[in-house]
Amino acid sequence: MTDRGDIRAQAVDWVVAQTDPAFGDWDGFLAWLEADRAHASAYEAVLAAGDAADPVIAQHPVADPAPSRLPIWRRQATGGLLAAGIVAAVGLGYVNLRPQPMVIQTGPGEHRTVTLDTATIALNGDTRLVIDRRNLHLATLDRGEALFDVKHDETHPFAVKVGDDEVQDVGTRFDVTRDTAGTRVAVAEGMVVYNPKAEAVRLGPGQTLDARHDEAELRVATAPTSDIGSWREDRLSYRQTPLSVVAADLGRGLGTQIDVQADVATRPFTGVIAYGGDKALFLDRLGPLLDVEVKRDQGRVTLARKADHRL
């Protein structure tokens, strides 16, 4: 990406570059967004202007396209570049700027923080988050866990889609988890609404919601606000939580898949688990902590009922 002093010009460069299906510099793009909050504002403004350009870019003469690079036109005007005049030529016609969604992923055991103009989002391990670049107030959590610190805007509420459900911000800070068991939401500050167009469950500070795939009812409980998002400090807190959920959380943080045998999967656990430091040593101590046998085979970890444990 060309190093240019004009933030708007830089935003234009990124938008145009992302119209190319072969574009792959997402790390560079995120680094640019995170470098200055003004970058996200300029980027969103350019996208909005590009969408507004529809009536302007009807039919124009098209130059012979270069075989290795798409020609780009920019309209100049007094006071700077008009983003609404940006179009990209493809073959013998023109197309509007329609950037693909921004996909942010972390590998198992990896943490990452992304700062947008609308929110700061911390991603836990093995997480996939999709941001609508034309609406930075909308994110989709495909899997994993993310902590959202939202810049509240009553006129444009921030929303997180989780499968068929939606969590809408009415405050500032909340954690969302999506895994094979279902969806969990925990609020550290402010307030959120779970499924505002359906159940419309309002959650305030210290409240949690558990929506499991195998249950029709939503479970609302409480938790210390200091425990919400504590995975960033390699610490997890539970109260009567099934071992299957504990194992999924630990797997994201440790970067190791942890399976649970069916006869202990629903066993509840209450306590605090700190898993930083030596991974092998932690797994050795995990068995007594959870009252299970920890089996390890070629990198796979399984929690099993202890041979002498009576249900």
Q: Is the pTM of this model over 0.75?
A: no
Q: How far apart are CA 28 and CA 98, in angstroms?
A: 20
Domain edge (last residue) among 66, 95, 124: 95
What range defines the domain where residue 29 resides? 7-95
Q: Is 28 strand, coil or helix?
A: helix
Is residue 309 one of the residues assigned to a domain? no
Question: The CATH number of the domain where 271 resides is what?
Answer: 3.55.50.30
Do 268 and 181 lie in one domain? The reply is no
Task: Please report which confidence band the pLDDT of residue 27 belongs to, taking 50, 70 and 90 as the band edges.
Answer: confident
Question: The CATH number of the domain where 191 resides is what?
Answer: 2.60.120.1440
Q: What is the structure's pLDDT at 88?
A: 32
* 12-15: Cβ within 8 A, 24+ apart: 12/46, 12/74, 12/81, 12/83, 12/86, 14/43, 15/43, 15/46, 15/47, 15/50, 15/86, 15/97, 15/99
Is residue 311 one of the residues assigned to a domain? no
Is residue 2 one of the residues assigned to a domain? no
Q: What is the structure's pLDDT at 31?
A: 81
Please state the domain count of the chain.
Answer: 3
Digit-coded pLDDT (tens) for 196-254: 999 999 999 999 999 988 888 899 999 999 999 999 999 999 999 999 999 999 999 99
Domain edge (last residue) among 187, 202, 227: 227
- 170 contacts: CB under 8 Å, gap ≥ 6: 152, 157, 190, 191, 192, 193, 202
State the average pLDDT for the chain.
79
- The helix (H) or strand (E) run that includes residue 212 is strand 207-212
Q: How far apart are CA 281 and CA 25, in angstroms?
A: 38
Do 11 and 84 lie in one domain? The reply is yes
Query: Would the pLDDT of 65 be above 50?
Result: no
Query: Would the pLDDT of 127 be above 90?
Result: yes
Do 212 and 265 lie in one domain? The reply is no
